A = this chain, B = another copy of it.
Amino acid sequence: MATIRGRIARRALSPGERLPSIRKLARDLAVSPSTVVEAYDRLAAEGLIRSRPGAGFYAVGVPAPLALAEDGPALDRAIDPFWVSRQSLDAAAGARRPGCGWLPPDWMPEAALRRAVRALSKADAAVLTDYGATQGSPALRRLLARQCAADGIEAGPEQIVLTPSGTQAIDLVCRFLLNPGDTVLVDDPCYFNFQALLRAHRAKVVGVPFTATGPDPDRFAEALAVHRPRLYVTNSALHNPTGATLSPRTAHQVLTAAAAHDLTIVEDEIFADFEPEPSPRLAALDGLARVVRIGSFSKTLSASIRCGYIVPRPDWVEGLRDLQVATNFGGPSPMAAELVLRTLSDGSYRKHLAALHGRLAQRRCEAAIDLAGLGIIPWIEPRGGFYLWCRLPGGRDAAEVARAALAEGVVLAPGNVFSPSQSAPDFMRFNVAQIDHEALRVIARALG
């Protein structure tokens, strides 16, 4: 393979030129003909050469340049809701990412995942080759129905729609419910990608100030009366970026206001598995009448297995299913659903979560101390998860600090990317599992 590759790269073999016959090359290189056949097959699979039946192999041309070095994120991008995603998803290997929204690989259930992948290699051929059912794996939906029941939500497997990611779950609900120009409420601050997603739907985004116990109830009711929004999109369990938990009283106030204005609520539970004890769920209080439950497995199991789910009102299931057929020809990969099912059903998963809770509690404490040493102070102490929503010292501009840190290879998450009203210029979201001493040194220098 190296011989032929070299000849093509040096243009000793021009595009369209015939390669040496298998017999001749085997003789020249003193290898067996079957070795040459194998090498030619692999080069053909790579597209470097092409076979013409009965006429041997031909060079295809010089491969496209390896241009990926120019492919990384630019340093001069606007600090907008895409800023953190671009920088953290496309960060160079080895870059530090205290701004990103997920755990490093060594915090994930690696052994259970490898077991699940090995078992998948022996699965029925249909799991490996076929499209899946329009609503996704029945077995995984049965497991999720039991989890719903444990959370006080009555929903059978037939009321659950699997999707290719948590983001796509929200996207599908937005497609189903929103018309261009509709108004959607979000928390201020909220997960930055809610804003990006809602912009893709041409929705008008209105923020409601977020308190340590949920959205400010008076401002929430006021926003409903003034803006008549179609949807409210929020995280419960542990709020992104603040780590705050909805209180029972605020949950009740939100639902009462929603009922008065016929508002639908999308409750994204993506951080639920990080809770030490369950907290109020809008979906449970409301009985899935006007609340749509959304979840995924990206934060505690794997972000590489793309799988999420929707638990909607029963009469919306068919419409969501059809919309998913139209836009994705079905739900998540059957392989992905199988890997999620196997990992969740693995006896070790509960231990993984318990260990994660303990390790994160310690890291949150250590990181808070380290950040306090730089004058960076958490807004609240979250009960769980990996986020600390912090105020920078002396009213420093978080966007400037993030740009300075990025120039040294450290990705941060400046407050205003989370704030529809741009009212968090001196805030920053930190991921405690992604902060190390080198990152802290860079942050210290960026603070100046």
Contact = CB atoms under 8 A, between A and B. Distances in A.
A441 interface: no
A307 to B, nearest CB: 9
Interface in A80-135: 82, 85-86, 89-90, 102, 105-106, 108, 110, 113-114, 117-118, 120-122, 124-135
Contact of A298 (B131, B145, B168, B327): B131
Contacts of A197: 326-327
A333 interface: yes
Contacts of A327: 167-168, 171, 197, 200
A348 B37 CA distance: 11
Contact of A325 (B85, B132, B175): B85
A347 B165 CA distance: 32
A305 interface: yes
A328 interface: yes
Given A64-B145, A333-B305, A335-B305, A42 B158 contact: no
Interface string A305-333: 11000000000000000110111111011
Contacts of A71: 135, 138, 157-158
Contacts of A383: none
Interface stretch (A44-52, A232-240, A391-399): A44-52
B157 A129 contact: no
What is the size category of the interface that chain A forms with chain B?
A: 35 or more
Given A196-B326, A325-B82, A129 B143 contact: no
Contacts of A114: 121-122, 128
A230 to B, nearest CB: 16
Contacts of A149: 47, 60-61, 63-64
Contacts of A155: 64
Contact of A303 (B41, B129, B142, B303): B129
Given A63-B146, A126-B105, A68 B167 contact: no
A349 B68 contact: no
A61 to B, nearest CB: 5
B150 A50 contact: yes
Interface in A138-196: 138, 141-143, 145-150, 154-158, 164-168, 171, 175, 180, 193, 196
A67 interface: yes
A215 interface: no
B346 A45 contact: yes
B41 A142 contact: no
A302 interface: yes
Contacts of A261: none
A382 interface: no
A320 B36 CA distance: 41
B325 A89 contact: yes
A132 B148 CA distance: 29
A134 B326 CA distance: 23
A345 interface: yes
A38 interface: yes
Given A60-B149, A82-B322, A131-B304, A156 B125 contact: no
A199 interface: yes
Given A47-B149, A165-B329, A156 B200 contact: no
Contact of A44 (B41, B120, B157, B350): B350
A159 to B, nearest CB: 9
A76 interface: no
A438 interface: no
Contact of A333 (B47, B120, B306): B306
8 contacts: A60-B149, A64-B142, A64-B156, A68-B138, A70-B158, A102-B131, A105-B124, A200-B326
Interface of A: 38, 41-42, 44-48, 50-51, 53, 60-61, 63-68, 70-71, 82, 85-86, 89-90, 102, 105-106, 108, 110, 113-114, 117-118, 120-122, 124-135, 138, 141-143, 145-150, 154-158, 164-168, 171, 175, 180, 193, 196-197, 199-200, 298, 302-306, 322-323, 325-330, 332-336, 339, 344-351, 354
Given A46-B345, A63-B149, 6 more contacts: A67-B156, A82-B326, A106-B125, A117-B121, A117-B335, A129-B302
